[in-house]
Amino acid sequence: MNLSFLRVSIWVYLALFFLYLLGPLVIMSVTAFNSSAFPRMTPWECLTFQWFGDLFQDQRILNGIKNSLIIGAGTVVLSVAMGLAGALMLTQIWPKLRATYYTIIIAPILIPGVVLGISTLVFWDRINRMLGLGADSVLSNGVFLTVIGQSTFIASYCMLVLVARLQRYDMALTEAALDLGATHAQAFRKILLPFMRPAIASAAVLAFLASFENYNTTTFTFGEYPTLTIELAQKVRYGITPSISALAFIIVALTVFFALLNEAKLKRQELVAAARKNATVEELAGKIKLPSFFAGNMAAVLLVVFAVATITVVGTATAYNPAQCIANVKEEKRLEAEQRIQELRKQREEQRKKREAEEAEQGDAGQSAPKPSNNSGFGNVFAPNTLGSGEEESQDTETPPANNGGFGGVFDPNSLKSE
Amino acid sequence: MSAGVGVDLENLWIRFGDFVAVRDANVNINGGDFFSFLGPSGCGKTTILRAVSGFLDPSEGKVLIGGNDMRGIGPNKRPTALIFQNLALFPLMKVWENITFSMEIKGASASQRRKRADELLDMIALPGQGDKLPSELSGGQRQRVAIARALCAEPDVLLLDEPLSALDLKLRQHMRTELREIQQRVGITFIYITHDQGEALTMSDNIAVMRAGVIDQIADGKTIYNDPNTAFAASFVGENNVFRGKIKQIMGTEALIATNRSGDLVARISSANQGKMKEGDEAMMFIRPEAFAIAAEGASGNHFVTARVNHEEFEGNVFNIFTEGEGGKEIKVSIPNHGQSFQDHTGQNITLEYETHNAVLVPAGELAAE
């Protein structure tokens, strides 16, 4: 009984934990498919792929992605190279200096990105002026500055990843290669680099992601090449649209895809290694019978399911046309608005009658009492009376006062027809 | 056997800061020899090997390979190949790629490499294993792959740094024979580093005994065993009973020693020390356990020692008798097993006898740690 309670509470905890972790992502992804102009899940209006279309037509977003990719690639190359050099240095340096060296090389991780951004800008500006170059030189180019600025601390991340692998490297392997006639360059390329390859790949992915999501350093250095994060931040300032949710959804989907791909590959390698271990010499010399790709590889199965789902969604998106639904929703909205207006009008009518009755009660005193509607303190701009008053009584209520909709009537189908 | 390329060390000093790892080493290694450096760990033997292979520059002196001074020539340009203590096989390469790495460096084609790898795999008795990874082989197989990889580079000198130390006893003994056979087949100079005197004695043409950076003795195995130069060489190679004392009288190549606890005994002065020792010098006399025999009761003289038997052990080929001489002096005696019935002496007093040429006298010095 106690045990089952414990078990239940663990599951509840797990559920809460994953809700906390993944909930925002799920909600954001869902809003990308809602036709509502503001990213929201409820009320659900129509399933739409419109925001994806909008996203791919938004030149600023596309340009931001392009810049992010260029800067990401540059940062990967620079950071991994510097990280590898730093890691190798750590293994070669005089042991007494090692702790000091480590601290220095790790320091950029601890320095706030803002400081790195500003200092990069100031430093290279100085260099630029010292060399007497103009404002359009390479040294003041946004891409160059951002790559340099980001690499100052991303290289440290890379170094940490690479050092972990390098510590498992047996220096005798390099010596063995040298002893067998290899030059230092050959020993590096043929022995050390292949050994470091998995760590280099990890470091490269890490560097790219760190570069892609960086804001606080980039914001000082981007110049004329705003990255995606910069563009998003600027967009959010002017109001957020579901096309940003669409972008988030794409990023989430890509992440899941690559995570599954990686997992499936690792599992595959594991299975192959196990098969090799069990194989006899004869089997090795010929062809080993490898287990089929999906056997015992959950990640691979999920990957395929995921890919199929993606293709289905994209296929649906091209064929699907939510115009009818959107029209329906608009019509609904219009009716709703109309209804509200009717109610308001009714209220007003009642108020007016009440007022008249009061006035009648007060007799012909003819006192110029101020109209109660003017008391609101907002100069009456919010009073519904101000819009229609005057003609209201003289005209029949043939045209609904669609202007009350709050969108200036742009969404009202009537506003098109009536002109 | 073809005369291979010899290696000479001339006045070789290697220092690490204040620490002297190798002190004035002078060694001539003949071409085609199987030469061992024997010594306890930390005696500088690996340092010498690294100096020969080029990973370390001597502080003073020269390394000559085939008569050529190797100063300034890197490890990749020397005609040596080193077999590392941990083998250092490339973990990501298949066996055949490992073996032919030296050919890849020179730009040989894959088919040439495969062919050569197959030849070498046949030689080391691992045919058809070329497509495995080193991690898929057993310890002894990896050992042989390392040898094949070194031989593939066609070195003039093969350097081996305690390559058998990671193997279990049975395999180690098997590999000893195999290494010796390979050396005789290829006919190149082998320089072998070991702390195992059994390995050194069984395989080597010549042995250098090292202690704390100093080479005590260079000779063939028999000489090292029977006629050691120093107390260290005598105590490090094989088992020995040591008797300390002062020289009482010198009689040509023999001497009479007043031992501290066992009375006056006679001994042969070791060849290298003849004419150098004089009366009154502190000296050490070494008698191997197997050089003792049990004498008739009551015998006395300058080559008899009396002792009380503590316990006995039967080791198969020998009986080991652990005795205690006068003043608690421990003496070990090994009597060969000829299949006769052996009388148990435990608790009895016995008289031990030795022949003078089996008792070796050297100047008093540092003994090897037990």
- β-strand pairing of B349-353 with B293-294: antiparallel
Query: pLDDT, tens digit, for every residue of B234-278?
Result: 988 888 899 888 888 888 888 888 888 888 888 898 888 888 888
For B104, nearest residue in chain A (alpha carbons): A182
Query: pLDDT, tens digit, for every residue of B28-51?
Result: 998 888 999 999 888 888 899 999
Mean pLDDT lowest among A152-156, A165-169, A274-278, B274-278: A274-278
Judge whether B106 is closer than 8 Å to chain A, CB to CB.
Answer: yes
Q: How far is A173 from chain B (nearest CA, A)?
A: 5
Which chain B residues are closer than 8 Å to A281 by Cβ?
128-129, 132
Nearest-CB residue to B105 (from A170, A173, A180): A180
Taking residues B311-324, what's their average pLDDT? Answer: 85
Whether the predicted pLDDT of A288 surpasses 70: no
Q: Do A179 and B82 touch (CB under 8 A)?
A: yes
Judge whether A181 is closer than 8 Å to chain B, CB to CB.
Answer: yes
Judge whether B206 is closer than 8 Å to chain A, CB to CB.
Answer: no
Q: Do A190 and B84 touch (CB under 8 A)?
A: no
Query: pLDDT, tens digit, for every residue of A103-138?
Result: 888 888 898 989 999 998 899 888 888 888 777 777
Judge whether A272 is closer than 8 Å to chain B, CB to CB.
Answer: no
Judge whether A277 is closer than 8 Å to chain B, CB to CB.
Answer: yes
Q: Do A183 and B76 touch (CB under 8 A)?
A: yes
For B53, nearest residue in chain A (alpha carbons): A179
Q: Which of residues 281-300 of A touch B (CB under 8 A)?
A: 281, 284-285
Per the listing, tokens 């020269």 go with B62
Q: How confident is the model at residue A242 (pLDDT cuts 50, 70, 90)?
A: confident
Q: Which residue has the higher pLDDT, B165 or B90?
A: B90
Q: Which of residues 184-213 of A touch B (CB under 8 A)?
A: 186, 190-191, 194-195
Taking residues B76-103, what's their average pLDDT? Answer: 90
Secondary structure (H, E, C), A100-163: HHHHHHHHHHHCCHHHHHHHHHHHHHHHHHHCCCCCCCHHHCHHHHHHHHHHHHHHHHHHHHHH
Nearest-angstrom CA–CA distance, B51 and B58: 6
Query: pLDDT, tens digit, for every residue of A349-396?
Result: 999 999 988 888 776 555 554 444 445 445 555 545 545 444 444 444
Q: Do B82 and A182 touch (CB under 8 A)?
A: no
Per the listing, tokens 């205690």 go with B324
* Mean pLDDT for all residues in chain A: 80
Query: pLDDT, tens digit, for every residue of B119-178?
Result: 888 888 888 888 888 988 888 888 889 988 998 888 899 999 888 887 788 888 888 888
Q: How far is A176 from chain B (nearest CA, A)?
A: 7
Q: Do B104 and A284 touch (CB under 8 A)?
A: no
Judge whether B113 is closer than 8 Å to chain A, CB to CB.
Answer: no
Q: How far is B142 from chain A (nearest CA, A)?
A: 15
Nearest-CB residue to B128 (from A179, A276, A281): A281
pLDDT at A280: 60
Tell me whether 0.90 is exceeded by the ipTM: no
Closest CA to A202 of A235, A159, A167: A159
Determine which helix (DSSP H) or strand (DSSP E) holds B147, and give its type and residue range: helix B139-152
Mutation for testing the B interface, residue in A165, A174, A180 having most B CBs under 10 Å:
A180
Which chain A residues are closer than 8 Å to B131 by Cβ?
284-285
Which chain A residues are closer than 8 Å to B81 by Cβ?
179-180
Judge whether A173 is closer than 8 Å to chain B, CB to CB.
Answer: yes
Query: pLDDT, tens digit, for every residue of A175-220?
Result: 899 988 889 899 999 999 999 999 999 999 999 999 998 898 888 8
Which chain B residues are closer than 8 Å to A188 by Cβ?
none
For B52, nearest residue in chain A (alpha carbons): A179
At the second CATH level, the architecture of B7-226 is 3-Layer(aba) Sandwich (3.40)
For B81, nearest residue in chain A (alpha carbons): A179
- β-strand pairing of B7-16 with B60-65: antiparallel
Query: pLDDT, tens digit, for every residue of A1-22?
Result: 577 888 999 999 999 999 999 9
For A196, nearest residue in chain B (alpha carbons): B92
Which chain B residues are closer than 8 Å to A190 by Cβ?
101, 104-105
pLDDT at A348: 92
Nearest-CB residue to A181 (from B102, B128, B133): B102
Q: How confident is the model at residue A75 (pLDDT cuts 50, 70, 90)?
A: very high
Q: Do B105 and A176 touch (CB under 8 A)?
A: no
For B98, nearest residue in chain A (alpha carbons): A177
What is the model's pTM?
0.71
Contacts of B43 (CB under 8 A, 6+ apart): B210, B211, B212, B213
Which chain B residues are closer than 8 Å to A195 by Cβ?
91-92
CB pairs under 8 A between A and B: 69
Mutation for testing the A interface, residue in B49, B78, B83, B131 having most A CBs under 10 Å:
B131
Closest CA to B25 of B42, B4, B41, B43: B43
Secondary structure (H, E, C), chain A: CHHHHHHHHHHHHHHHHHHHHHHHHHHHHHHCCECCCCCCCCCCCCECCHHHHHHHHCHHHHHHHHHHHHHHHHHHHHHHHHHHHHHHHHHHCCHHHHHHHHHHHHHHHHCCHHHHHHHHHHHHHHHHHHCCCCCCCHHHCHHHHHHHHHHHHHHHHHHHHHHHHHCCCCHHHHHHHHHCCCCHHHHHHHHHHHHHHHHHHHHHHHHHHHHHHCCCCHHHHCCCCCCHHHHHHHHHHCCCCHHHHHHHHHHHHHHHHHHHHHHHHHHHHHHHHHHHHHCCHHHHHCCCCCCCCCCCCHHHHHHHHHHHHHHHHHHHHHHCCCHHHHHHHHHHHHHHHHHHHHHHHHHHHHHHHHHHHHHHHCHHHCCCCCCHHHHHCCCCCCCHHHHHCCHHHHCCCCCCCHHHHCCCCCCCHHHHHCC
Q: What is the CATH number of domain B239-363?
A: 2.40.50.140
Domain ranges for chain B, please list them. Answer: 7-226, 239-363
B139 three-state secondary structure: helix
pLDDT at B207: 93
pLDDT at A397: 43
Nearest-CB residue to B55 (from A175, A177, A277): A175
